[in-house]
Amino acid sequence: MLTLFHAPRSRSTRILWLLEELGAAYAVRYVGIRYGDGSGDGPDPENRHPDKKVPALDHDGTIVSESTAVAIHLCDLAPAAGLLPAAASPERGACLTWLCWADNELGAAVMQRMMGGGADPRAQAGYDAAVRRLTEALARGPYLMGARFTVADVMIAPLLRFARAQLPDSAAIDAYLARATDRPAFARAMAKDAPAAQAAA
């Protein structure tokens, strides 16, 4: 049994999307967290994440946390979905690289930008490098791994969507986001992002 400990409009939303792309059977346990802007009602004692963050995945009593670890774990449980190349495939390393880059490089660069880090030459250089790498990949596109939609897109597209105002004007980024979020699994995930009562409010 898979249970996702999830908070609306958070990093765990992309794991909801991944679960829908994989066609997995799962339950959602909505928990409160403290958001970056100070809002929210966390930490929630019901949250199984060791740091009371999200996502946390309960897989038959074993807790998997950290977005990248959860994503890899889920893809390995559903190899037929083809969202993560098999271990023997030469493409697996490239896909894993994108997964780690998503938070370690792109996410970090965008967050520094949002906090006014553009005045720091090192922060600006990191941001410029991340944007360049992203746009070069999208120029080859249509997805990060070329013609193949993968877990890397599931992890990176929501970050770009969240931080769109922090990124340069780019028809390639806009078209990529439109392609990625037009998928039926994305719509299903968005419908589950918040509890029914909260979503209707």
Structural domains present in the chain: 2-82+185-200 (3.40.30.10), 91-183 (1.20.1050.10)
pLDDT at 200 over 80: no
Q: Using H for helix, E for strand and C for coil, what is the string for 131-193?
A: HHHHHHHHHHCCECEECECCHHHHHHHHHHHHCHHHCCCCHHHHHHHHHHHCCHHHHHHHHHC
SS3 36: coil
Please report the pLDDT score of residue 106 as a whole number: 93
Instruction: State the Cα–Cα distance between residues 4 and 178, nearest whole angstrom.
Output: 26
pLDDT at 167 over 60: yes
Candidate from 41-45, 63-67, 144-148 with smallest mean pLDDT: 41-45
SS3 106: helix
C-alpha dihedral, 28 to 70 to 54 to 57, nearest 10°: 40
Degrees to nearest 5, angle at CA 13 with 32 and 51:
45
Please report the pLDDT score of residue 40 as a whole number: 86
Candidate from 26-40, 72-86, 125-139, 163-177 with smallest mean pLDDT: 26-40
Return the percentage of the chain with pLDDT > 70, whole number: 96
Task: With cut-offs at 50, 70 and 90, classify the pLDDT of residue 37.
Answer: confident
Digit-coded pLDDT (tens) for 90-101: 999 999 999 999
More confident residue, 43 or 191: 191
Please report the pLDDT score of residue 118 as a whole number: 60
pLDDT at 31 over 80: yes
> What is the dihedral sign for C-alpha 67, 44, 25, 198?
negative
- What is the Cα 144 distance to its own chain's centre? 14
162: tokens are 């969240």
pLDDT at 10 over 80: yes
Please report the pLDDT score of residue 113 as a whole number: 84
